[in-house]
Amino acid sequence: MRGASLVLVVFALNVARRRVKEVFAEVRQRLGTHLHLTVDNEDVDCTKGDHVRCTEYKLRDPFHLIIIEDASHGAEVYSLKRKFNKNKAIIEASLLNVFSQHSRQDMTIYASENAEKEVGFVRRLSNEEVLAMIAKRSKKRHRSIISRSPLETNLLELSLLELRSFAETEHWGELEEYGEESLKASIHKEQLSFVLFWTNVNSISQHAFWLWSKASKVLKARYPDISFGAIACHKHSQLCDDNQLSKVDDYHTIFAYRNGKRLAWAKDMRDVNFYLDWVSILVSGNAVQLESEDELKDARKGKIAPFDDIRPAITIGIFQSESSADFEAFMKVCEILAGRYHFAYFFKNGATNTVFTVRPHEKKKREDFEGGFDAESLIQFVTQSSFPSIVHISRGFTSDILLRQPRPLALLIHSSENKISSFIDFCSKKPRHICTHIVRERCDAINDLIQQFALNKNDSPLLILIVKVRRVFI
């Protein structure tokens, strides 16, 4: 650890911040004396001024967050709950616990006499939790924003899967069946590995395993050096308990690992292609570097490796260099949204740092980012600009997009022969409605749907406007 350098940022919004600062100063001095370890520290007080870091997190409740950035692990965010860290000894144990997770050596052996018998209370925040904090801060201002990606517009309603029964024989496809040793070896590889913790006593979990095993046949052929597997928690209950994320006991989430670290996870379900897209995006990296003007030109058209088809939305950043603060902010957002959106970047000398989203299938092909380069603004831009102006729901839809938000819904039911240019024009202007459409020939339940609205099934096209509990038919 000699010569190693960490950057620590402590956020504080209460009188306990002085206590945290004092303990940190003592720990830093002790580690410098015993280990020659340099800890570079920036202390940010969110009660004073508008520090850019403070804009990324909730500002109502008192909190302490620690962000550690090091060359080998990247940025990690830890939470020091005030109610669990009431005295200096516990705070010291918590800080040493954090440092130990970024060191090959156990730092807790350098605890003071008062702290050596204490248990620290610190927890690493997942990318989803960090994103939730950002969303919570902007909840009132952006209450109707849809945070689903273009790949998540027709997810399965998991409650419906509770009614499914499984009589099929258990098929593992190309999945590795993990035990204790093989699981440990897989998740600690330098290469990506993917693991599903599943059980045969839960129909949702069984469905996830069924889809994942089917996807494995394609994925293993496409990525032979990557591990795709599952562990049967009905056979290895303790092993699953030891490896599951806290608060995650659903047994249908697929996790992505590298070097023993969880990088991303897929909790939602759709079909086999959903898993194929998710894995392919992660394998290609949080963001794809475009090496030439030709690759940039292709990306502007919706073409990006390793996909053969035109992608619905790609957010592209053009930067002067990788050392710019704007590029670092962009890559942080790419990490938070990993696996859900397509990102690409291109370095160009003398260029103005620019971020935009291309949407090849939309009337307006490009949306430009005009905000500040902070995580909240960038995430808001990516989610809004990537979402389609018209959601195709012929084969189903994600419940929270249409049913669990206040915006009115405009539904167009039409045949493939109908011209819908006027509807496209209306929806491309970003009305307050959520625009959706159903192509009759592609929807098996179309007649039942029209009957529910008490309309003539022979009429085409049909435009239905749904405003909360009231319905107006045109």
Asked whether the predicted pLDDT for residue 2 surpasses 80, the reply is: no
Q: Which of 339, 362, 386 is the last residue of a domain?
A: 386
Q: Are residues 331 and 426 in the same domain?
A: no
The candidate with the shortest Cα–Cα distance to 42, out of 77, 91, 3, 7, is: 7
- Both 80 and 179 in one domain: the answer is no
What value does the mean pLDDT take over residues 423-442? 88
Indicate if 162 and 89 belong to the same structural domain: no
Q: What confidence tens digit (pLDDT) does each residue in 266-323 have?
A: 999 999 999 999 999 999 999 999 999 999 999 999 999 899 899 999 999 999 999 9
- 296, part of any domain: yes
Is residue 50 scored above 80 in pLDDT?
no
Residue 303 falls inside a structural domain? yes
Q: What CATH number has the domain bearing residue 90?
A: 3.40.30
What are the tens digits of pLDDT across the range 10-28? 444 444 566 777 787 888 7
Q: Is the per-residue pLDDT at 61 higher than 90? A: no
Closest alpha carbon to 433 in 411, 418, 453 = 411
pLDDT confidence of residue 59: 47
Is 139 within a domain? no
Whether residue 144 lies inside any domain: the answer is no
pLDDT at 136: 60
Domain containing residue 169: CATH number: 3.40.30.10
Q: Backbone dihedral region of 147: left (phi > 0), alpha (psi from -120 to 50 degrees) or beta?
A: alpha
Specify the pairing of strand 288-289 against strand 64-70.
unpaired
Whether residue 142 is predicted with pLDDT greater than 50 in this model: the reply is no
Domain identity same for 403 and 294:
no
Whether 213 maps to a domain, the answer reads yes
Our measurement of the distance from residue 384's CA atom to the centroid of its chain's CA atoms, rounded to an integer in Å, reads 15
* Distance of alpha carbon 29 from alpha carbon 170, whole angstroms: 57
Instruction: State the number of CA atoms in the 13 A half-sphere of 12 facing the CB.
Output: 16
Are residues 121 and 19 both part of a single domain?
Answer: yes
Same domain, 162 and 259: yes
Evaluate the CA torsion angle 84, 85, 89, 95 in order and state its sign. Answer: positive
pLDDT at residue number 407: 83
Domain boundary among 241, 269, 297: 269
Looking at the fold, whether 119 and 30 belong to one and the same domain comes out as yes
Whether 472 shows a pLDDT value over 50: the answer reads: no
| pLDDT in the model for residue 168 | 66
Can you give the residue range of the structural domain that contains 350? 282-386
Tell me: do 19 and 111 sit in the same domain. yes
Residue 62 to residue 444: CA distance in whole angstroms: 52
Give every CB contact of residue 44 below 8 A, 6+ residues apart in sequence. Answer: 9, 10, 11, 51, 53, 54
Structure confidence at residue 28 (pLDDT): 79
383 has pLDDT over 80: yes
Number of domains forming the structure of the chain: 4
* The two structure tokens encoding residue 292: 């030439």
Q: What is the pLDDT of residue 365?
A: 95
Q: Are residues 382 and 394 in the same domain?
A: no
* pLDDT bucket at 63, cuts 50 / 70 / 90: low
Give the confidence band of 96 by pLDDT, cuts at 50, 70, 90: confident
Structure tokens at 338: 């990993």
Are 408 and 436 in a shared domain? yes
The token pair at 126 is 């997942």
Residue 314: closest CA among 345, 280, 271: 345
Domain-ending residue, one of 243, 269, 295: 269
Q: What is the pLDDT of residues 335-350, one digit of tens each?
A: 999 999 999 999 999 8
With respect to residue 131, please indicate whether it lies within any of the assigned structural domains: no
Q: Are residues 220 and 303 in the same domain?
A: no
Are residues 375 and 363 part of one domain? yes
User: What single letter denotes the amino acid at residue 88?
Assistant: K
Averaged pLDDT for residues 403-419: 85
- 447 part of a folded domain: yes
What pTM did the predictor assign? 0.69
Query: Considering the domain boundaries, does residue 133 fall inside one?
Result: no
Express each pLDDT in 144-161 by its tens digit: 567 899 999 999 988 888
Please report the pLDDT score of residue 95 as a whole number. 81
